[in-house]
Amino acid sequence: MTVSMNDRPLLEVRNLAVGYEARGTWPFGTRTVKAVEGVSFDIRPGETLGLVGESGSGKSTTGRAILRLLPVLEGSIRFDGQDLSDWGKQTPLSYRKQVQAVFQDPSASLNPRQLVSHAIEMTLRRHGVTKRSELHERSLAAFEMVGLSGDHLGRFPNELSGGQQQRVAIARALVLEPRLVVCDEAVSALDLSTQSQIINLLSDLQQLTGVSYLFIAHDLGVVRHIAHRVGVMNHGSLVELAETEELFASPKNAYTQRLLDATPAAHPAGREERRAHRLASRTAPAA
Amino acid sequence: MSETFTSNFHSVEAAPPQRSTNLGRILARVRRQPATLISFGFIVLLAVVAVTAPWLAPLDPTASDFDSVLQPPSAEHLLGTDDLGRDQFSRLLFGTQIVLLVALGAVVVAAVLGVPLGLVFGFYGGWWDRIGMRFIDMAQALPGMLIGLTVITIFGRNIFILMIAIGLIFASAFARVTRATVLGERGKLYVEAAEVAGLRKPQIIFGQVFPNLIGPMITQAAVFLGSAIMIESAMSFLGIGLDSDTPSWGAMLSLAVEKQNVAPYLTWPPGIAIILTVLAFNVFGDGLNDALTGEKRRNAPRIRGGAPRAALSTAASRATQTADAATGATSQALVLEARDVTVALNRPSGEQVNLVSGVSVSVGKGEVVGLLGESGSGKSTFARAVLGMLPAGTWLADGTITLAGEEISHRSAKELRHIRGDRLGAVFQDPMSALSPVHTIGAQLIEPLRIHKGMSRPAARARAVELLERVGVKNAAGRLDDYPHQFSGGMAQRVAIAMALAAEPELLIADEATSALDVTTQSQVLDLILDLRDEFGMGVLMITHSLGVVAETCDRAAVMYRGRVVETAGVEKLFDNPEHPYTAALLAANPVNAVGQDRLATIDPELRAVIDASIDAQAKKEAVR
Amino acid sequence: MLKLILSRLALAVPQLLLLSFFVFLLTYLVPGSPAAAVLGAAATPESIARVEAQLGLDRPFFDRLVDYYVGAFQGDFGTSYVSARPVTELFAERLPATISLMAGGMVVTVIIGLGLGLIGGTKAGSLRDRIATGMSSFTMAVPEFWIGIVLVLVFAVQLRLVPVVSYVPIQVDPARWLQGIILPSIALGIAGAALIARQTRTAMAEAMAARYVDSLMAAGVSRRKVIFTYAFKNALVPVLSATGIVVSIMLGASFAIEKVFAFPGIGSLMLRSVTGKDFAVVQGGVLLIATMIILVNLILDISYGLINPKSRPQ
């Protein structure tokens, strides 16, 4: 994985605020709730940016804004130099082709009543592939790329295991050869042994195609493994952004420190000290 | 609940290779529902009767015959005659036409009006939805009869007006169902995935969402057909349906009321005809719904055979000899000693599967023992076996469970109840659903205190406050009368822990107790459990899928795979020097252990084969023994 | 709690205003003049014009609308075209009979509905569940007025157990009042029971599968107490929200029941007025029934708020 520091960023997020409409009090009126505010970061070509945080931190909201599933309230998102807000409510097909997504729950992200091949072919057809033979060829190629066979194409989602379903979702995301894939908790629902396979697959595909990932996850271990840089979100803001090893070795932000302290270690050694340390840090600020 | 267990068990195996079309699968499911088939057959029969009534009916249904007025059933008039001497059997046959025609027309009207409205409300939302739904609510709150009556008042009586009148009654219901289905589908991830793929809105609506609407709509239509028949009959009965000359079942009943004293035989045929017809449509609608949604909880197997009991006594004697070797437990005071626990499940096909096979785990006083496994490994089923709360359809087929030296695996429900909560506490995964949402936490917290400690209500409340304070709930006295939704997930889990520990049990079973929590909350709750262990000295069985939780909290751990314990060891040894290839593979797959490496170790097919072979060998050894 | 009641009341007012407007429009939508209907075959253009003037039907739309609202606020809903008696009086006469019937029907509905629902829902998937579900499906398919006919046939005509008395006001003779409403109540109760049974069964089965049942059982609470104290109260939440529809269904069904038992309630008055084109009475009846429904829903909303803490305004 080579990430050149000199490359122009693929994605530039500046001072982003995203919100959603919440129902106001009884039965009329809405108010806007900002779920994310003042978030800025870049993603370079071929880079994986990890975004970690606890539930409600705004990490998924940020990803959904980049996917244009949620409107931007303030600030800007630029992809390849192009400000997304210029498009208004429309999203050009060229952007859709270049920015794809893999979601958390693999069974829900596939239409239960359609063959999995349909998910891929539908995407291809929308992006100008019309010839039957080419559709099949490219679907097959995408499936083989993610370690599935042509046999899997003719199945329904519930005839595949969780890991296989997630492979289909990845194939669907990558069949258009995108430049950025937003992975929103893409491995969180998987068992450890399946999770490691999908993580390896994502790394391999990055090597092969040079795609960038925005890797959103709550599991710091996974992010530490896959991300080049990591951003930490808390209560809708990005509290720290650093090179992965730097962040894990010497976190600057107090919340990052707390998050790292709370993360269970990989080995029992030293756990009594860790527990004592947590106890001390927990009682200290409260007193 | 048993379905989660079976499906998890399935996921360990490879996905079934068969493939078929969606429609084919639905038809196959329908074929397995005799009630649906019979009702469908009856509906077809009705349709045939309606079409062929002119040929089937022995007499003209409207022809009066004043020579044979109010004749009881005879060979000439199978069901007798009415006050104008009209043949009841012929009228009954012709009545099928009216009933089906009006009901079908009404449902078409309802669908034509309701479905588009529901689609608009569901897709566009906002003000359209809010105002529209207010109207729908209002319309639906009014008695259908009132709406029908009003329409008839305005437009008079004929068959089309009747269709519209009844159709209007169901239009609002159709709109509501459509909207609910659209909203449900629209929130699904695959719709977002289609949007991210760049699909146009109409493509998403018609290509993705619409096909998923058809099933629920057809089901609704079938159920509404039944209701429409009821309303049509009621309106004809009241004399606001079609004119009394037209043969309709409702009007026939109207006559039956008038002539009740002289011609009771008029009551039965139309009534039974209505019941059977409505029943057929309702059963067909329900069956179709089941077939479309796939699995149905209703048919969960529920067989508690006599065989398991017989197996137990031999198992108990055998267990004593082998357990110590298997668990590797020290001879210190054991709080929990489970030996050769086997939990069996009967599949609907009749085949018996073991969800848990010969599991032996022990927990010493003050000891934290992990039970580590991936989904479907049987770890939660084992926990339920210990609690005596196995889901329906599963049973303890073999093994013994001893709590502080006392056998508890053969106890009656009543005896177990006095053990659970008193000597055995449990905390489950999702804290927000672990407490009843419509009861205050105080009411739930004092339950174990009242039951096991025999405390009076005020004393139990006072103790509950202490307990809440102990688990770290601030302003405990003030929060006792709060409801669960007023707590955060972490706080709710603390309350659940307080409830489990209220009677100071000897063993706490924590079944994925922190899996649904954020990491900072998780570490607080884990620390709390450890603190409480230090204070009360109870043993803890920590059931988890997380290597980190085991590393941070457990003294010993057992690793489960495919319903078996593959390895039990002290936690240091387990992490440093795993014996079983599966344990080693799990550790290697943990990304935290692979910092600086490009690739993670995985369980590839070859390794999987090695692991499975070792499991099978273990099973064979047990079988021989 | 007060806030909840006030907000629900505030919602009821525009609903009633809107509804009464639609009801008022009713006379405009009807083809032909009601006067013609009142006069019947003997109508001449002159006599129609005279009766229209008498009934005030010749005045402009807006004037009549204002009159209608002003009258309605004073409790005056016009005069019957046919009997020339105030509509309010006609309904006041018949309301006690309808309320007696509805109350009796509700008791039967709750007993049968909750009973069947609890039998099935507490042990979902069992044989007894399938029997209970089958029974509720059956009651759903049986027309309630047919049950009424059969009840009369069996108990009154054949067995002569119950005299075929019709309704006697409670203040006249409570014993005969009760005798008079037993059979109609059973028939009417069947109409609502199936829906309550289905809701209860589903809600109860769901409650029994919930995690808190596990927690409580694990805490040693008896199964009986878990079912009847904890799961049941949770199950009541969805059951209560279905009750509004059940009341509405039963009100509709009461029309036919009244016919079977010759019951002097609102239904028979409404039917007579519809066939007799007595629109003033139909208007009043629609409004009265709608008001009753809104009132019932108001009460249900409030009890819903009492049971479900999440729906209470914080």
B233/C279 CB distance under 8 A = no
Q: Residue B306's pLDDT is what?
A: 32
In B, residues 259-278, which contact C (CB 8 Å cutoff)?
Answer: 260-261, 264, 267, 270-271, 274-276, 278
Is residue A154 domain-resident? Answer: no
Q: How far is C182 from chain B (nearest CA, A)?
A: 18
Nearest chain B residue to C311 by CA distance is: B438
Same-domain status, A219 and A259? no
Same-domain status, A225 and A257? no
> Would you give the DSSP letter of residue B17?
-
Q: Show residues of chain B in contact with A155, CB under 8 Å.
A: 15, 19
Same-domain status, A17 and A69? yes
**Is C309 in the B-facing interface, judged by CB distances under 8 Å?**
yes
B591/A222 CB distance under 8 A = yes
Is residue A263 domain-resident? Answer: yes
Compute the C-alpha angle A49/A55/A60, nearest 5°. Answer: 45
Cβ neighbours, 10 Å, residue B493: 30
Same-domain status, A241 and A260? no
**Is A23 in the B-facing interface, judged by CB distances under 8 Å?**
no
Reply yes or no on whether the pLDDT at B367 is more than 80: yes
Q: Work out how many domains chain A is built from and give that number.
A: 2
Residue A67 DSSP SS3: coil
**Is A132 in the B-facing interface, judged by CB distances under 8 Å?**
no
Residue C155 DSSP SS3: helix
> In this predicted complex, what is the ipTM?
0.91
Is residue A140 domain-resident? Answer: no
pLDDT tens, B440-472?
A: 999 999 999 999 999 999 999 999 999 999 999
Same-domain status, A189 and A284? no
Q: Which domains does chain C have, with CATH numbers?
A: 95-265 (1.10.3720.10)
Q: Show residues of chain B in contact with C192, CB under 8 Å.
A: none
B282/C137 CB distance under 8 A = yes
Q: Which residues of chain C have pLDDT under 70?
A: 1, 27, 31-34, 37-38, 40-41, 162-165, 312-314
Band of pLDDT at residue B311, cut at 50, 70 and 90: very low
Nearest CA to A155 out of C258, B16, B118 is that of: B16
pLDDT tens, B46-70?
A: 999 999 999 998 888 888 888 888 8
Same-domain status, A270 and A235? no
B520/A226 CB distance under 8 A = no
Q: Residue B325's pLDDT is what?
A: 39
In C, residues 184-243, which contact B (CB 8 Å cutoff)?
Answer: 205, 209-212, 214-223, 230, 233-234, 237
A156/B22 CB distance under 8 A = yes
Same-domain status, A267 and A241? no
Band of pLDDT at residue B327, cut at 50, 70 and 90: very low
**Is C274 in the B-facing interface, judged by CB distances under 8 Å?**
yes
Q: Show residues of chain C in contact with B444, CB under 8 Å.
A: 212, 215-216, 230
The continuous run of DSSP H or E covering B287 comes out as helix B268-293
Looking at residue B20, its amino acid is S
Same-domain status, A215 and A256? no
Band of pLDDT at residue B477, cut at 50, 70 and 90: very high
Chains near A with 3+ CB pairs less than 8 A apart are: B
Task: Return d(Cα C97, Cα C81) in angstroms, integer.
Answer: 23
Q: Residue A6's pLDDT is what?
A: 58
Domain that holds residue A244: 11-108+178-248
- C-beta separation of A13 from A77 below 8 A: yes
Cβ-Cβ contacts under 8 Å between A and B: the total is 190
Q: And the tokens for C213?
A: 């049942």
Per-residue pLDDT of chain A (287 residues; tens, 9 = 90+): 455 555 689 999 999 999 877 665 544 556 778 899 999 999 999 999 999 999 889 999 999 999 999 989 999 999 999 999 889 888 999 999 999 999 988 888 898 888 899 989 999 999 999 899 999 999 999 999 898 998 899 888 888 888 999 999 999 999 999 999 999 999 988 888 889 999 999 999 999 999 999 999 999 999 999 999 999 999 999 999 999 999 999 999 999 999 999 999 989 999 999 999 988 887 755 43
Q: Residue B625's pLDDT is what?
A: 61
Reply yes or no on whether the pLDDT at B389 is more than 50: yes
Q: Which domain CATH number covers A62?
A: 3.40.50.300
Q: Residue A5's pLDDT is what?
A: 54
Q: Residue B305's pLDDT is what?
A: 33
Is residue A27 domain-resident? Answer: yes
Same-domain status, A40 and A67? yes
Q: Residue B241's pLDDT is what?
A: 85
Under 8 Å CB-to-CB from C3, ≥6 apart: which residues? C313
Mean pLDDT of chain B: 85
C220/B302 CB distance under 8 A = no
Chains near C with 3+ CB pairs less than 8 A apart are: B
Is residue A119 domain-resident? Answer: no
Query: Which of B275, B485, B499 comes nearest C219 by C-beta?
Result: B499
Task: Return d(Cα B49, Cα B43) in angstroms, integer.
Answer: 10
Q: How far is C176 from chain B (nearest CA, A)?
A: 22
Q: Show residues of chain A in contact with B188, CB under 8 Å.
A: 108
Nearest chain C residue to B304 by CA distance is: C126
- C-beta separation of B65 from B77 below 8 A: no
> Would you give the DSSP letter of residue C86?
B
- C-beta separation of B537 from B365 below 8 A: yes
Q: How far is CA A266 from CA A54, A220, B333, B557, B590, in A?
A: 20, 12, 30, 15, 8
> Would you give the DSSP letter of residue A159?
G
Task: Return d(Cα B170, Cα C14) in angstroms, integer.
Answer: 24
B193/A172 CB distance under 8 A = yes
Query: Which of B16, B523, B602 comes nearest A193 by C-beta?
Result: B602
Task: Return d(Cα A181, Cα B134) in angstroms, integer.
Answer: 42
Name the strands in the sheet holding A99-102, side by side, starting at the edge strand that comes first in the sequence.
A99-102, A180-184, A212-217, A48-52, A229-234, A237-243
Same-domain status, A48 and A94? yes
Exposed/middle/buried for residue B378 (C-beta within 10 Å: 0-12, 13-18, 19+): buried
Q: How far is C74 from chain B (nearest CA, A)?
A: 24
Reply yes or no on whether the pLDDT at B565 is more than 90: yes
A264/B591 CB distance under 8 A = no
What proportion of chain B, given as a percentage, has pLDDT over 70?
90
Q: Residue A173's pLDDT is what?
A: 93
Same-domain status, A283 and A204? no
Mutation pick from A267, A274, A281, A282 vs chain B, by most beta carbons of B within 10 Å, is A267
**Is B286 in the C-facing interface, judged by CB distances under 8 Å?**
yes
Q: Where would I find the H helices in chain C?
A: 2-29, 34-39, 45-55, 61-73, 87-121, 127-141, 144-151, 174-209, 211-218, 223-225, 232-261, 266-275, 279-307
φ, ψ of residue A154 to 5 degrees: the values are -90, 35
C30/B153 CB distance under 8 A = yes
Q: Show residues of chain B in contact with C19, CB under 8 Å.
A: 138
Q: Which domains does chain B have, with CATH numbers?
A: 27-64+77-293 (1.10.3720.10), 307-430+507-583 (3.40.50.300)
Q: And the tokens for C245?
A: 């529809």
Same-domain status, A264 and A185? no
Residue with tokens 């936490």: B441
β-pair partners for A21: A32
Q: And the tokens for A113?
A: 């009543």
